[in-house]
Amino acid sequence: MSVYASVAAVPSLDDGRERFDVTLIEPARRAASVLFVAGRGGDPTRHRPLLEALAGRGCKVIAPHLDFLASPTPSAAELVARGRRLSLALEAFAEPGRR
C-alpha cells in the first residue's frame, strides 16, 4: 500500500506576470503542510527523495517551481517575485487550521 494519496501533481498558478508550476505530494494521512523551496530555485523535483520522505511522514508537500537565481545575491525584484509565488502557493494549496 502506498503512503501517498497523490504523487507529484503539478498544477500551475498565475502570479500576475506569468504562470508557474507547483509540485504537490499528498500523503495518505495528513498531519501538516510543508512549503518547500529549493535554495536558489529551479525544479524542486530534483529533491524528490526528500519530498517523498516528508510525505511519508504525513506532510502535504507544496513546492513551487522558481526561476533559478544566476547570482548568489538576488535583486529586490527577484525577492519580491519569490515572496509573491510562495504566498500564492500557500493560499492555493495549504488548508487553514492545519500546521
Each residue's pLDDT expressed in tens, for the chain with a length of 99 residues = 455 555 567 889 999 999 999 999 988 887 789 999 988 888 898 999 999 999 989 999 999 999 888 888 999 999 999 999 999 999 999 977 655
Give the range of the structural domain holding residue 65, as residue numbers without chain letter.
4-93
Find the CATH number of the domain harbouring 26. Answer: 3.40.50.1820
> Considering the domain boundaries, does residue 41 fall inside one?
yes
> Considering the domain boundaries, does residue 43 fall inside one?
yes
- How many folded domains does the chain comprise? 1
> Considering the domain boundaries, does residue 47 fall inside one?
yes
In our burial notation (b when 16+ CB lie closer than 10 A, e otherwise), range 19-44 reads: ebbbbbbbbeeeeebbebebeebeeb
Cα dihedral 78, 23, 48, 25 sign: positive
**pLDDT at residue 6, rounded to an integer:** 58
> Considering the domain boundaries, does residue 87 fall inside one?
yes
> Considering the domain boundaries, does residue 98 fall inside one?
no
Q: Which of 20, 48, 18 is nearest to 36 (CA)?
A: 48
